[in-house]
Amino acid sequence: MAEPDFILRENCPQRRIHYILNGKWTSMVLSVLSYGPMRTGQLERALPGISKKMLTQTLREVESGGLVHREVFHVVPPKVEYSLTPLGIRFVEPLSALYDWAKDNAAALDELEDNLRRSAEAASKQGE
């Protein structure tokens, strides 16, 4: 019953960092904001497929975490600008690394998805 040398305990940093990876959009919102402050509409257009609901929900979450600052300009029509806080900037660092890796390794992502497709086909042939 050899215990493994490496245990990812319940509250280890490796698990806790998943906070910013949990939501479908969280890490993408942070990543986009790393290019500078942005208005709501710009964020919306930078993330094709996101709904108004998910955008505001995600922004409220990262704001609660102190990662993003929300600045309201009291004008009509409304203007709201979001930007990373210093803490947010720190958290974007590992995300950028992750995304840079992804851009440099698109071929590996292709391979992964080919494998998944093939194994899904094989599974459906079984069911016939």
Partner DNA sequence: TAATGTAGTTACCATTTGGTAACTTTTGGA
Partner DNA sequence: TCCAAAAGTTACCAAATGGTAACTACATTA
Q: How far is the CB of 127 from a second copy (least distance, A)?
A: 16
* Residues 62/52, Cβ–Cβ less than 8 Å: no
- 51, 57, 78, 115: residue in contact with a second copy (rule CB under 8 A): 115
Is the CB of 3 or the CB of 104 nearer to DNA? 3
Is the preceding omega at residue 77 within 30 degrees of 0, hence cis?
Answer: yes
Distances (CA, A) of 85 to 67, 76, 100: 5, 26, 22
Q: How far is the CB of 102 from DNA (least distance, A)?
A: 18
CA angle 14, 65, 48 (to 5 degrees): 90
Is the CB of 18 or the CB of 107 nearer to DNA? 18
Within a 10 A sphere around the Cβ of 26, how many other Cβ atoms? 21
Within a 10 A sphere around the Cβ of 67, how many other Cβ atoms? 23
Binding residues for a second copy, rule: CB under 8 A, are 1-10, 13-19, 21, 24, 27-28, 31-32, 35, 38, 41-43, 45-49, 64-67, 87, 90-91, 93-94, 97-99, 101-103, 105-106, 108-109, 111-113, 115-116, 119-120
Q: Where on the chain is the footprint of DNA (CB under 7 A)?
A: 1, 22-25, 39-41, 49-54, 56, 59-60, 70, 72, 76-80
